[in-house]
Chains A and B, each alone.
Chain A
């Protein structure tokens, strides 16, 4: 199984909105509503930001929005803030208790 495909980097200015895509196949992203997104700051463990495609855990700002269409999931962040600068990884369930991660996207807040 190959990793999910994400852009290597995205950037935006404070206050702007950005979107990160995550492309998979009908065996993973397209086959299950179990896409999650993780934020990782340097030297830290990943933090769950979105699960089940579009659900936010408590404590995650509603500026973070997840969606999916076909085999591609997306993470949108509105009202960019400096603290949003981090690496973002998508993950998808791929059946029989296996998962895939995307290659990660570096978000730079200009």
Chain B
């Protein structure tokens, strides 16, 4: 069965970087994209970006303003999101999800990222 397992919670200081991983299983990794979505406390879902596991093509939301990197490791079927120059408003739960022909059908459980001095 399709599964997405994310890395554990992180606490970072403002200005630091964080890397969240999303290890997938149960499907052919290269056949699907991976998208990243975050949810700030008490807020809605915010789309962050998408990466093709086939060729590495990627697209970011404008709100990230060049602070993010998305990568994939096809050998371990894992996707990564790195966010730099962290600010307090980056505090959120970060989700990865499998993209399946323009919709997101399987989601990871989320990774809490807290930015606090």
Contacts and interface: CB of A to CB of B under 8 A. Distances in A.
Interface residues of B, number: 23
Interface string A41-58: 000011110011000010
B44 A103 contact: yes
Given A98-B59, A102-B44, A104-B45, A45 B50 contact: no
A36 interface: yes
Interface in A30-77: 32, 34, 36, 38, 40, 45-48, 51-52, 57
Interface residues of A, number: 27
A96 B44 contact: no
B33 to A, nearest CB: 8
Interface string A18-35: 000000000000001010
Interface of A: 1, 3, 32, 34, 36, 38, 40, 45-48, 51-52, 57, 87, 89, 91, 93, 96-104
Interface of B: 33, 35, 37, 44-47, 50, 52, 57, 59, 61-62, 95, 97, 102-105, 107-110
